[in-house]
A and B are shown apart, each in its own frame.
Chain A
């Protein structure tokens, strides 16, 4: 089955700096890669996603890049704000199958 690895497990950045979280996957057939933000005690919220036919996608301060050859994808948050502090999960998905989640990254933005 699919195996998703996520790094780093914790990340602290100064407000205004950028944060980058990286994930790798093992199944080259996976074709959908969402990123979720989860605040303490709350549900994961989809913040951005990318499909395998696209190399990069951006939504305001958030961007995701995908390298299919290397089988890795990354989340980029620019101009970080304290409200960006949360746990972020990546996932890999093959159509019709389950979602495989990374182990999560706890991001702290220091004011």
Chain B
């Protein structure tokens, strides 16, 4: 199946710093990528939908100025957590939708963020 990579897999940072997470589709073109946040033992919470070449669509309650999303190419989307705080600590997962198979999304391996 299609492969989605995510980098870094784990990051620890100090409060107030910014962290960038990359999501790449390795063997297919992804016109749409999704960014999720997952707390322990909970479901995936959609943060935003990222469309190549246009502004991301954020879900209600997600601050777009805090979680900056850029989808500059058909294989790369980035999520930047700006001025991170301990409450931003979480597991962030991206997924990519293959333009040729619009119903299927493939998940990245996730990034565990710990803000001290």
Contact = CB atoms under 8 A, between A and B. Distances in A.
A89 B107 contact: no
Contacts, number: 47
B19 interface: no
Interface residues of B, number: 20
Which 4 pairs show the lowest CB-CB distances between chains A and B? Answer: A43-B107, A32-B103, A43-B109, A103-B43
B42 A104 contact: yes
Nearest to A45: B107
B34 interface: yes
A101 B44 contact: yes
Interface of B: 1, 34, 41-44, 46, 49, 91, 93, 102-110, 112
Q: Which size bracket describes the interface of A in this complex?
A: 20 to 34
A51 B44 CA distance: 22
A96 B76 CA distance: 20
Nearest to A31: B103
A106 interface: yes
A46 interface: yes
Contacts of A89: 43-44
